[in-house]
Amino acid sequence: MFACPATDDFFRSRIDQMIDLRHPLAVLASRMPWQEIESRVAHLFVRRAHAGEAMPDLDLFGEQPQRVASRSNAGRPRVPLRVMISLLYLKHAFNESDEGVVARWADTPRWQFFSGQAYYEDRQPCDATTLVKFRKLLGEQGVEELLAQTINAAVDMKLIKPQELSRVIVDSTVQEKAIAHPTDSRLLEVARIKLVEAAKDADIALKQTFAKEGPALSRQAGRYAHARQFKRMRRVIRRQKTIVGRLAREIERKAQFLAQAVREALIDPLEKAARIAAQSAQRKAPVGRPKLYAWHAPEVDCISKGKARHPYEFGVKVGIASTLRGTLIVGARAFHGNPYDGHTLHEQMEQAAILMQDRAPKPVTAFVDLGYRGVDSENPDVRIVHRGKPKRLTSQERKQLKRRQAIEPIIGHLKTDHRMGRCHLKGETGDRLHAVLCAAGYNIKWLLRMIARKGVSFLWRFFLRLQKRATLWRLRPTMAFGPLKGRSNGYLGAWQALRLPI
């Protein structure tokens, strides 16, 4: 054990004495507006009063008087707000899971310095499930504030000019949900399992659960599909549909004699099973009622983006807005229901304007692809530029339009490096939170990259300045004899004679 003179604790050394403070993450830790972030989201964590019932305690001496419910001052203290916010930033910036980010935080002093810790802590900051609760408390408003502060930090550090935020590129992609591929045989088998579980929870004794025949039919359908024996596959699927229907009807008959609360709990699984059985008998979904592609995620849509290798994606459509120069993300929003791309532009530009309202004016120009045609009247305050109207574009806009495809690698990095490729959060709210957090993680990585680039360029300029001074010192005896032939007097002539850059 050693003592550090720069710390108040005799037995521990400060983290700033253990790491290189020139590292981009250490620089960003001192440049992020942490106090502003905490003040913006603090109102989301105000303690809410819970109305509790004081039940009478019975013992050998009779009934005791009811105690008034009161909040105890004892208990586990809260994890600091900056630590929780930094964990979300680090998770999506370095592509970690909830379990992985808390485990890596305990082993990385630089991450702890980014979280505001003064001393190294060889322990996890919190349990992984705490991040789940923290995201729910933040909500969509809170995560958008985290994304907005990354934009503010980029402007404050002069890594991007404020006028660059007025020109944005808008495009859409698919954020896939963490579900299995939705085949009819798989969905019918899941419906059978869920109906049996619902009947068991309601204390309904079923005549037969088909526990042996159900999995065998599912495997058989997969083999027939692989062998391209589709008539036999459809016969197996019809049998699975018959089993689901028999179970659903039996549960409905026996649920009539149960309590009202139990009957209400059975409504949701019965409706889902009926939807799966109905859609397995027809190729197209009925008008106004989309297909159910996952039992646990009914919000999933089947989206076709025209890709030859991956024709159908199951998830939610996400709109991404980035700057024309600099590739900084200024907006990310999830749109459920698979809307037309052009119908999402107004909400996307509205979100971008809200996120940039602290440091920059509203975006006035949007560079888009042909999927956003025909929505100029819906966005009167925004100049929409695409290659579908070449005669109405200026020469400068035609030149800037070539930068529109710069958003494609941004989307690729979001999916590959920042966890947008597969969303594990629950429900529509989880889809919206995940899209914004992925964009915030991308911006954190963008800030680190720009800080490193700016630092390298600064050191290179400093090195050149030192080299010039050393060379001039060596040339002083030569210049003392007079001007060089054909050159001007002084140091400038010496540099030109040696053909060195100034």
Q: Quick: pLDDT tens for 227-241.
A: 999 999 999 999 999
Which of 245, 279, 313 terminates a domain? The answer is: 279
Distance between CA atoms of 235 and 185, rounded to whole angstroms? 11
CB-based contacts of 234, cutoff 8 Å, min separation 6: none
The sign one gets for the Cα dihedral 272, 277, 282, 287 is: negative
Range with the lowest mean pLDDT among 34-38, 47-51, 246-250, 412-416?
47-51
Report the chain's terminal Cα–Cα distance, integer Å: 52
The predicted pLDDT at position 3 comes to 42
Q: Does any domain span residue 251?
A: yes
H helix intervals, 257-401: 260-265, 267-279, 345-355, 395-401
Q: Are residues 173 and 313 in the same domain?
A: yes
Distance between CA atoms of 440 and 148, rounded to whole angstroms? 8
Distance between CA atoms of 120 and 331, rounded to whole angstroms? 35
Range with the lowest mean pLDDT among 4-8, 21-25, 226-230, 393-397?
4-8
Q: Does any domain span residue 129?
A: no
Whole domain around residue 377: which residue ranges?
162-179+301-424
- Residue 116 falls in which region: left (phi positive, over 0), alpha (psi -120 to 50) or beta: left
Of residues 315 and 473, more confidently modeled:
315
pLDDT at residue 61 greater than cutoff 50: no
SS3 268: helix
Q: Are residues 340 and 403 in the same domain?
A: yes
Q: How confident is the model at residue 470 (pLDDT cuts 50, 70, 90)?
A: low
pLDDT at residue 349 greater than cutoff 90: yes
Q: Does any domain span residue 142?
A: no
Q: Are residues 313 and 170 in the same domain?
A: yes
pLDDT at residue 458 greater than cutoff 60: no
pLDDT at residue 482 greater than cutoff 90: no
Rg (CA), the chain: 31
Q: What is the pTM of this model?
A: 0.83
Is the Cβ–Cβ distance between 404 and 368 less than 8 Å?
yes
Q: Are residues 320 and 409 in the same domain?
A: yes
Q: Are residues 224 and 257 in the same domain?
A: yes
Range with the lowest mean pLDDT among 89-103, 408-422, 467-481?
467-481
The predicted pLDDT at position 71 comes to 62
pLDDT at residue 5 greater than cutoff 60: no
Q: Does any domain span residue 359?
A: yes
CB-based contacts of 143, cutoff 8 Å, min separation 6: 88, 135, 433, 436, 437, 440
Q: Are residues 214 and 308 in the same domain?
A: no
Q: Are residues 172 and 320 in the same domain?
A: yes
Angle between helices 184-201 and 230-255 (to 10 degrees): 20
Q: Are residues 307 and 405 in the same domain?
A: yes
Q: Are residues 339 and 413 in the same domain?
A: yes
Is the Cβ–Cβ distance between 183 and 162 less than 8 Å?
no
Distance between CA atoms of 323 and 98, rounded to whole angstroms? 30
Q: What is the mean pLDDT of the chain?
A: 86
Q: Does any domain span residue 25?
A: no
Of residues 294 and 77, more confidently modeled:
294
CA distances from 43 to 86, 137, 138, 139, 357 (A): 18, 10, 10, 12, 20
Q: What are phi and psi of 406, to 5 degrees?
A: -65, -15
The predicted pLDDT at position 54 comes to 45
Q: Are residues 259 and 395 in the same domain?
A: no
Q: How confident is the model at residue 99 (pLDDT cuts 50, 70, 90)?
A: very high
Which of 279, 312, 345 terminates a domain? The answer is: 279
| Residue 44, both tokens | 């989301």
Distance between CA atoms of 212 and 189, rounded to whole angstroms? 11
Distance between CA atoms of 243 and 249, rounded to whole angstroms? 10
- Number of domains making up the chain: 3
Strands 167-176 and 365-367, by their bridges, are parallel
Q: Are residues 205 and 170 in the same domain?
A: no
Question: Which of 244, 175, 235, 238 lies closest to 209, judged by CA?
Answer: 244
Question: Which of 11, 13, 8, 37 lies closest to 112, judged by CA?
Answer: 13
Give the residue carrying structure tokens 């459809």.
234
Q: Does any domain span residue 493?
A: yes
Q: Are residues 314 and 348 in the same domain?
A: yes
Distance between CA atoms of 325 and 164, rounded to whole angstroms? 7
